[in-house]
Structure 1
Amino acid sequence: MGKIIAAIILAAIISSCTSIDCPVQNTVYTVYKLYKADGVADTLSDTLTIYTYRKNGSDSILLNKKTKAVVLELPISYQNHEDTLIFELKDTFNVLRRDTVWIAKTNQPHFESVDCNISYFHEITSVRWTNEAIDSIGINKKDVNYDASTEHFHIYFKARN
């Protein structure tokens, strides 16, 4: 009986030593903050949908019909060297404006522990875009990791007439 209790205690001690605080959510996000041309934070009045294309050719909606957008949090791919995002803005008259944004980046594997799943951190190297609705995009911080409070991009939409 004493050996059984000793074995249970030993098993409990061993299992408690391997408890690692793995991140529950190991997806990293890029944060876009919207600004007006004068540098004041902007609230988008149009309805915004953002999607991307997968390697198999299908599309994947990342943000669906968001209204009154100020800040956008979008996932970033794990291993592509460039992400392509399509921004679709629809105004109250159902006029659609569409822009494509290309984000070039590096991908660095990030290990917390052998007990945790791998995650990827990124360094943004460049961004380019079409100019239907987007005036410009600036890189505010190029390192993408678990810190969701960081604004990675400042995006400026064209003023509506």
Structure 2
Amino acid sequence: MKRLLYLSLAALMVACSSVDCPVDRTVATLYQIRTSDGNELTITDTMTISTVNVDNENVVLYSGRDSIIYNKGVGISQFNLPISYSHPEDVLLFKFEIANTDSLVRDTVWIKKDDYPHFESVDCNTTFFHTLTNVRYTRNYIDSIVINNPSVTYDSKTVHFYLYPKSDD
């Protein structure tokens, strides 16, 4: 009888710790490039995106402390970008190499968000999900960026932002 009790207790402990953690635990934003008419647009210009370190709320350090998070995308209509876990605002530097010219156009995008921990099990690491609260940007290449879905989770198919480049008209 005692042996049966120990075996039952051991089986219960094993059963409690067999929670499957998600395999793809990437939390990122999805951008879709669109025309002013709202149709999906494939850009022919080459796009590189960097993020910068922020020491204070208002001080951005540009001197060699940036990280490329999207490198030389061309012929794209959508792209994914990671999002920070520990900053209330992400700063993104967009660089566009204009096709068939030697021109470079740069824009800066600031994304404000609220971060909240997402807990699945004691066996899994805590992940942070986000609620997008505001986006602002310079307007050199980008005409506008609109938040489509403010909830950033594991869902990699949900479009979070619509990016509208300036038209050539």
The normalised TM-score by structure 2 is: 0.84
| Partner of residue 54, structure 1 | 53
Aligned counterparts of 2:25 and 2:69: Cα–Cα separation in 1: 17
How many residue pairs end up in the alignment?
A: 157
CA displacement at 1:15 relative to structure 2? 2.9
CA-atom RMSD, angstroms? 2.1
Q: List alignment gaps of at least 5 residues for structure 2.
A: 56-60
Tell me the distance in 2 between the aligned counterparts of 1:21 and 1:34: 36
Residue 25 of structure 1 aligns to a residue in which SS? coil
Per mean C-alpha deviation after superposition, the further-off stretch among 103-112 and 48-57 is: 48-57
Q: Provide the secondary structure at the position in 2 that maps to 1:54.
A: strand
Correspondence 1:69 to 2:76: yes
Alignment of 1:24-39 (within 5 A): 24-39=23-38
Structure 1: unaligned runs, 5 residues or longer: none
Letter in 2 for 1:140: N
Give the aligned partner of residue 90 of structure 2: 83
SS in 1 for 2:146: strand
TM-score scaled by structure 1? 0.88
One-letter amino acid of the structure 1 residue matched with residue 30 of structure 2:
V
- Secondary structure of the residue aligned to 2:14 is helix
Deviations 1:58-115 (A, max 9, x none): 1111110011111110010001000000111002212100000000000001100111
Rounded to whole Å, the distance in 2 between the matches of 1:41 and 1:74 is 18
Could you tell me the percent identity over the aligned residues? 46
Q: Deviations over 1:40-73 (max 9, x none)?
A: 1100110000010135751111110011111110
Shift of 1:18: 1.1
Q: Runs ≥4 in structure 1, deviation > 2 angstroms?
A: 7-17, 24-27, 54-57
Distance 2:93 2:14 in 1: 47
The one-letter amino acid of 1:88's match is K
